[in-house]
Amino acid sequence: MTAVGRRRAAAYLAEQLDAFGVTHVFMVPAVLRRTLAEIERRTPIVAVHTHGEKSAAYMADGYARVARRPAVCMAQQVGALNLAAGLRDATLASSPVVALTGGNPPLDGRHGLYQAADDLPAFDAYTKFNRAITDPADIPDTLHAAFGAAASGNPGPVHVQFEGQEGEIDGREADFPPAAPLVLPAPPPVDPAGLNAIADRLATAVRPVILSGGGVLKAGATAAVRRLSAEAGIPVATSLSGRGVIAETDPLALGVIGTYSRESANQVLHEADVVLVLGSSTGSMVTNFWRMPTPQADVLQIDIDPEMIGRNLPAFAGAAGDLDSAVSELAARASSFRRARPEWRARIEARRAAWLDKRRAFAGSDTAPIRPERLCAELTAALPADGVMVVDTGHAGMWMASMFEITAPTQTYIRSSGHLGWAFSAAFGAKCAVPERPVIAFTGDLGFWYHIAEIETAVRHGINTVTVVNNNHSGNQSRRGFVLAYDGDETDRSRDLWVHREVNFAAIANEIGALGIRVKDPSQIAPALHRGLDAGQPTVIDIVTDIDAVAPLAWDPEGWVQKY
């Protein structure tokens, strides 16, 4: 690396991004042009030019979640708010995305510059760190602070605005230090008193459950959670974001709980007397709108963020700090609270068996149009042990939460935190992060339409993901709501609001240069998936599914209807 000395900011930026371990930047030109030129001259970093700022943010988000380190997206000033909109999912998922944008140049008191606006405040709501740079000498400290904020504590997106609509400040000179790697503080240790209280309550639990959230994956504590579960004989449920900590075929795995969930998992959690919550924000999705655990259960909670302890659920005992070391300590002490609990295990097995029987009836369906349950079962069988599954929200998220299974803890599952269309683009970022691993995106036709132009991006850059489209030519998750709005009368007009033209996405993919495969017969799903995984090129598999297949609502003992 270049020694300290006076040089252009662009050269320092390129070398510093490389020193941070950045391998890709996802962007819409033109921004930081000189930096991009220096990146090409000095580093192996790949600039992925997308067709929209929002999809660039989603790609960086997918990269960051799979690699578990900061990923970069960029936009010039006029596209900055599009990039900010794309950061919203990263905010909800606590994903370390670094957004770099252009900003207002000095105008010497003049006003009305074409495309200029003060965008910086718009990033405040969606970032942990938001700062503008007007002096190139401030770049080193600001860049280290931004990347450090993104990756430390509870991770999250950050934003740095560079002076000049295209960040032209990178053409100015200053005295820059040598590029240096990112150094993060060690996570704080958990308070021993809090951990002791948790262990003491686990020792007396009759029907305990571990609830593993996304923070477990971020902390690298998956092995510790599996060890604690096995040593103490306590079953593990997961949030959608915590999926992958344990194989869902494991006898101690309950599956996903919450609003998008496995029926038997919700049933078991409603009956638990002690719930150990690890790395979860206990938001509406994982608690089925704060209806579980029930008030009769004692909640024990460990999280990196002290504000999460007791935030939504009163905590019987809690401890903030490093999840991996805390759970490892509990696992080492598991003999003190290991109990056979035969009645509890039998209850869990009965719930699981009943759910599997119900699932099996649809998962093996040979009907056409294809049932989504059959599609999810085929995806379960096809995803390799090192595969990455990237899933959209809406019905895509509901079907996959209940009907798809993680079969190995070496698989990775990431999902949209609420923004339809996220998965298709995020899968490209995931593939860039782990090019040696197979990556499958699962979305519906409505979600696929959002960023369909990015097929060309994948073809141009050789990003070889497999995108599976659950194509029922509709947004039929909205069906229930429109029927209610029209007083139970499903009129042609109400259908116009959620039913779309049927389109052959495989034909579009083939025209752009990807591999497109259209499937109408359920027996052809598996061959299509294996062909896509072996193709070595971007693949779109268009599955024609039943428009009348509606994903089940979450199980609740009172038959509660979702109101939010």
- Tens of pLDDT along 45-77? 999 999 999 999 999 999 999 999 999 999 999
Specify the 3-state DSSP secondary structure of 173: strand
| Closest by CA position to 545, among listed 362, 308, 317 | 362
Pair (197, 149) in one structural domain: no
- In this structure, the number of other CB atoms found within 10 A of the CB of residue 150 comes to 28
Give the Cα separation of 400 and 85 in Å (integer). 25
359 domain-assigned? no
560 has pLDDT over 90: no
Q: Averaged over 153-178, what is the pLDDT? A: 97
356 domain-assigned? no
- N-to-C CA span, the chain: 54
Sign of CA dihedral 327, 329, 335, 336: negative
Give the Cα separation of 51 and 118 in Å (integer). 24
Pair (293, 167) in one structural domain: no
Pair (312, 421) in one structural domain: no
Total tally of structural domains belonging to the chain: 3
Give the Cα separation of 481 and 111 in Å (integer). 47
554 domain-assigned? no
Q: How far is CA 420 from CA 392, 444, 460, in A?
A: 6, 9, 24
82 domain-assigned? yes
| Closest by CA position to 461, among listed 431, 418, 502 | 431
Give the pLDDT of residue 558. Answer: 76
Pair (442, 331) in one structural domain: no
Give the pLDDT of residue 363. Answer: 92
Q: Could you tell me whether strands 173-176 and 5-8 are parallel, antiparallel, or unpaired per DSSP bridges?
A: antiparallel
In 33-107, at which residue ranges do the beta strands (DSSP E only) sit?
Answer: 46-49, 71-75, 97-103
562 has pLDDT over 50: no
The dihedrals phi and psi of 238, each to the nearest 5 degrees, come to -130, 155
Query: What pTM value is reported for the model?
Result: 0.95
Residue 358, CB half-sphere, CA atoms under 13 Å: how many? Answer: 12
| Closest by CA position to 539, among listed 519, 559, 555, 523 | 519
Give the pLDDT of residue 2. Answer: 59
What is residue 473's DSSP assignment?
S
What DSSP string runs through 477-542? Answer: GGHHHHHHHTTT---HHHHHTTB-----HHHHHHHHTSEEEEE-SGGGHHHHHHHHHHSSS-EEEE
Q: What is the pLDDT of residues 381-404, one digit of tens each?
A: 999 999 999 999 999 999 999 999
What is residue 164's DSSP assignment?
B
| Domain membership of residue 434 as a residue range | 364-544
Pair (445, 506) in one structural domain: yes
85 domain-assigned? yes
Q: What is the pLDDT of residues 501-550, one digit of tens each?
A: 999 999 999 999 999 999 999 999 999 999 999 999 999 999 999 999 98
Q: What is the pLDDT of residues 177-189, one digit of tens each?
A: 999 999 999 999 9
Give the pLDDT of residue 563. Answer: 42
What DSSP string runs through 259-307? Answer: SS--HHHHHHHHH-SEEEEES----HHHHTTTT-S-TTSEEEEEESSGG
Give the Cα separation of 516 and 466 in Å (integer). 10
386 domain-assigned? yes
* Residue of higher predicted confidence among 108 and 542: 542
Dihedral angle computed from the Cα positions of residues 417, 353, 377 and 475, in that order, rounded to the nearest 10 degrees: -50
- In this structure, the number of other CB atoms found within 10 A of the CB of residue 333 comes to 18
> Which two tokens mark 203?
């020792």
Pair (393, 439) in one structural domain: yes
**CATH number of the domain residue 432 falls in:** 3.40.50.970
Give the pLDDT of residue 495. Answer: 75
Pair (492, 391) in one structural domain: yes
Scan for tokens 């690396």, then name that residue. Answer: 1
Pair (123, 268) in one structural domain: no
What is residue 147's DSSP assignment?
H
549 domain-assigned? no
Give the pLDDT of residue 491. Answer: 67
> Which two tokens mark 479?
């069906």
Q: What is the pLDDT of residues 294-334, one digit of tens each?
A: 999 999 999 999 999 999 999 999 999 999 999 999 999 99
183 domain-assigned? no
Give the Cα separation of 431 and 66 in Å (integer). 9
Q: Give the chain's length.
A: 564
Pair (30, 154) in one structural domain: yes
What is residue 446's DSSP assignment?
H
**CATH number of the domain residue 273 falls in:** 3.40.50.1220
The crossing angle, in degrees rounded to 10, of helices 323-332 and 222-232 is: 20
490 has pLDDT over 90: no
Pair (170, 204) in one structural domain: no
106 has pLDDT over 90: no
109 has pLDDT over 80: no
Pair (408, 266) in one structural domain: no
Pair (334, 467) in one structural domain: no
Task: With cut-offs at 50, 70 and 90, classify the pLDDT of residue 482.
Answer: confident
Do 397 and 391 form a contact (C-beta atoms < 8 A)? Answer: yes
Do 35 and 170 form a contact (C-beta atoms < 8 A)? Answer: yes
Domain termination site, one of 319, 349, 379:
349
The dihedrals phi and psi of 171, each to the nearest 5 degrees, come to -90, -5
